[in-house]
Amino acid sequence: MIEAWAPGRINLIGEHTDYNDGFALPSVVPLQTHVRLTPRTDQIVSVTSDAEAAPCQYTLGDEKPSGTWLDYVAGLTWSLRRSGHRHAPGFDLQITSDVPVGKGLSSSAALEISILRGLRALYSLTLSDMELAMLAHTTETQFVGAPVGVMDQMVCSLGRAGSAFFLDAATRDFHHVPLPAGTSVQVIDSGIAHHHASGNYRIRRRECDEAARALKVARLRQLTPADLPRINALPDPLNRRARHVVTENARVLAAVDALRAGDLRKFGGLLTASHESMRDDFEVSLAEIDWLVELAVGDAGVLGARLTGGGFGGCVLVLCAPGAPDDAAERVVDRYRREFGRKATVLIGSSREQILKG
């Protein structure tokens, strides 16, 4: 039997930039997916999960998308075979996870990377951590059909506890940026799930591609804030979609500089500005998310807050001031319940060690 695991991730800043070949700054979180793989004597893959009542099966070499969560498993063996990595016989797979689904913490990438790590050990495959990330990305985009960028799979495979993961999606170069002492990032679950394979995410990606064509560039990454006058001249909403991507890329670069300088206050301001751009220009926030961010930013112990993940639901990231009481997220959730009558929960609480132990 082989055991393996992979972490979920939170995107500190840099939303909807990776599939535009831009910059992103995610980090691993302590929430994890664990798998156990036991080889069989036939070609069957049998999958059980703590989230599903009944086991699922498919046959190696006969993987077909079914539109269910099993596609994330079947797509991996499909991707391995297409890339020339033979694997036989089949196996029994047990999955347990505390990475919540549909909350913007990359449950799919954590699942993919944990299984690939297990398959690498089970079949003695010669695959680097980068190759695992690319196989997982192929699975999600070509088999599952979710038009995501490379960020999630890369950070879940290559991320490091205690550091942000600065990614250049165009080149796939990355650097680990240590988080300053006193960094405390908390995560609030809005209670609203999202889905990358759903229509809104696809629409935003298509709008970015249309804006790039109108601006005569291959990807919006090729533009800078100096190009804002001609970006603003595009028809609505293409102007706002492109403006978000270009200004978000600039915010990621500024955020990296702020972290390296130990300036958490500046970093927090960039997080809040990122949310405003996602709300107004990219239009992927919701009223409930905006309320949570507004309550967080208004808290004396908070330096900044934003929607994290693809949007249309998910989680809110809260950056707390060093030395402030460590219950900021709990205070926000309580006020949210009292003032708006809505329920939200704290997924990840106070200390730097807790969120980044990975």
| Residue 209: partners with Cβ closer than 8 Å, 6 or more residues away | none
**C-alpha dihedral, 138 to 140 to 141 to 142, nearest 10°:** 70
* Residue 230 DSSP SS3: helix
| Dihedral, 133, 105, 270, 244 alpha carbons, nearest 10 | 70
Q: 152, 189, 281, 299: which one is catalytic?
A: 152
Query: Is 290 considered catalytic here?
Result: no
Cα 337 to Cα 319: distance, rounded to the nearest angstrom = 21
CB-based contacts of 71: which residues, under 8 Å, 6+ apart?
A: 65, 143, 144
Are 328 and 304 in contact by the 8 Å Cβ rule? The answer is no
Q: What end-to-end distance do the CA atoms of the chain give, in Å?
A: 23
| Catalytic residue IDs | 152
